[in-house]
Amino acid sequence: MTVLDSRPDLPFDERRSDPAVLITPSGVSMPSVEDLGAGRGPDWLDQWLAANAADVLAWFRHIHAHPELSRQEFATTELVAGLLKSFGLQPELLPSGNGLVCDVGEGERCVALRADMDALPMTEATGLPYAADTPGAAHACGHDAHTTILLATGIALASAPSLPGRVRLVFQPAEEVMPGGALDVIAAGGLDGVERIFGLHCDPRTEVGRVGTRVGAITSATDLLELRLTSPGGHTSRPHLTADLVHALGTVITGLPALLSRRIDPRSGTVLVWGAVHAGEAANAVPQEGLLRGTLRTGDHDVWADLEPLVAELVQSLLAPTGVGYELTHRRGVPPVINERESTQYLRTAIESALGEDALAGTKQSAGGEDFGWYLERIPGSFMRLGVWSGEGPMRDLHQPTFQLDERALLAGIRVMTHTALAALS
């Protein structure tokens, strides 16, 4: 069995002594195998987890300590490919060399399980002994856990006496940048022959051992807006002789969200929030250039299709009286993730089989974006939220330098993903 230290200078000491124990970030030992669904079958999965839990932890900590940003996931891809090959599997790299797919089992029927691999451009501030060794990159969204869970699930499935079909493992790059690495997978034929696809995401507001599902939209479409304004500039004592650029910026900042709220059904969950505004330096000078950036999100697929021309119309109407020049860039991002009903029922069956009836949890639609939606534009599938909160202490949110998860969630995720594949194929 291949074991990786989480950092070269960090011995794996007592953590290798008992494969039924994982060490949480706080250093407290937790009997993970017994706590999270052991005895619920199949027997070969219980046996695999009991024998390999410590290796799963080592893989996770290694990936966590060596984060790679979007479209730079070459070492992570090499690690995953090497481990899969060591267990007799045949991974196929994407043409870019970062990301891969790998089939487990045989037969015409095929379902896919997906994990994203990229880290975020921030510096970790958890203080963990296996914290990221790369300044400016950190797994603050749980993609290290997603990768580890899918890796272990694939290897566990390869140990099964038989499978009712093929399971395609999709290790995807570049989820954190729009329009997302899911399009790379699709372009490379990663969905060819696949009936359904399933994925998960860490949820720091749900306790370990519980998994959230819902039918319909679970995330939102996310677009980027950038508006550049130009003016002849001038003295603030004579705004009537120029085009008041800052006033025009303010008109759009307040006016565009207000008008959108009157032109779009409020039940769609559409929201525009500005994140950056820049103009001028001197208090008594009308600037010549200004910049406005923000995100536009909606939970309704039909609304998303109509947003670009509507935004263009409203910006033009707001700026026409001001006399400023402008250039609007509307970058369409990712569609909402819309969980198909039958696939979601497979998920719920799998969660109950893997972890018990109490593990089933509902979940609300998020305004966040997730490029898993591109897969569901082409084939049915469903996306779930895996609880990673220990149940004690603060809920450290995603995309924060202090984010960390309870490592028992790794085994819960492996069980759920394995049962999901079996339920969908059966």
Reading the block at residue 201, the tokens are 């995401």
Going by DSSP bridges, is the β-strand pair 360-362/211-213 parallel, antiparallel, or unpaired? parallel
- At 236, the pLDDT band (50, 70, 90 cuts) reads very high
**pLDDT-derived band of residue 18, with 50, 70 and 90 as boundaries?**
very low
Contact 48, 33 (CB under 8 A): no
Average pLDDT over residues 34-60: 86
Distance of alpha carbon 234 from alpha carbon 242, whole angstroms: 6
Average pLDDT, the chain: 92
Q: Are 103 and 191 in contact (CB under 8 A)?
A: no
Report pLDDT digits (tens) over 382-404. Answer: 999 999 999 988 888 999 999 99
pLDDT above 50: residue 31: no
Q: Which residue has the higher pLDDT, 2 or 210?
A: 210
d(CA 326, CA 322): 11
Query: SS3 for 240?
Result: helix
From the number of C-beta atoms within 10 Å of its C-beta (0-12, 13-18, 19+), residue 283 rates as exposed
CA distances (Å), origin 181, targets 24, 70, 304, 344, 383 = 31, 9, 20, 23, 17
42 vs 64, more confident: 64
What CA–CA distance (Å, rounded) separates 421 from 103? Answer: 12
- 316's CB contacts (< 8 A; 6+ apart) are none
What are the pLDDT digits (tens) for 118-159?
Answer: 999 999 999 999 999 889 999 999 999 999 999 999 999 999
CB 157 within 8 A of CB 167: yes
Which tens digit of pLDDT belongs to each residue from 84-121? 999 999 999 999 999 999 999 999 999 999 999 999 99
Structural domains of the chain, with CATH: 13-219+337-425 (3.40.630.10), 223-334 (3.30.70.360)
pLDDT digits (tens, 9 = 90+) for 239-283: 999 999 999 999 999 999 999 999 999 999 999 999 999 999 999
Radius of gyration of the chain (CA): 24
pLDDT (0 to 100) of residue 133: 82
Q: What is the mean pLDDT of residues 188-201?
A: 98
The answer to whether 168 and 101 are in contact (CB under 8 A) is yes
Strand runs labelled E in 208-359:
211-213, 216-217, 221-230, 234-235, 271-279, 285-286, 289-298, 325-334, 338-339
What pLDDT is recorded for position 29? 41
The enclosing H or E element of 183 equals: helix 182-187
Looking at the chain, the whole-number percentage of residues with pLDDT higher than 90 is 88
- Predicted confidence at residue 291, as pLDDT, reads 98
pLDDT score recorded for residue 394 = 84
Query: Could you give the percent of the chain with pLDDT greater than 70?
Result: 91
Residue 395: predicted pLDDT: 85
Three-state secondary structure call for residue 342: helix
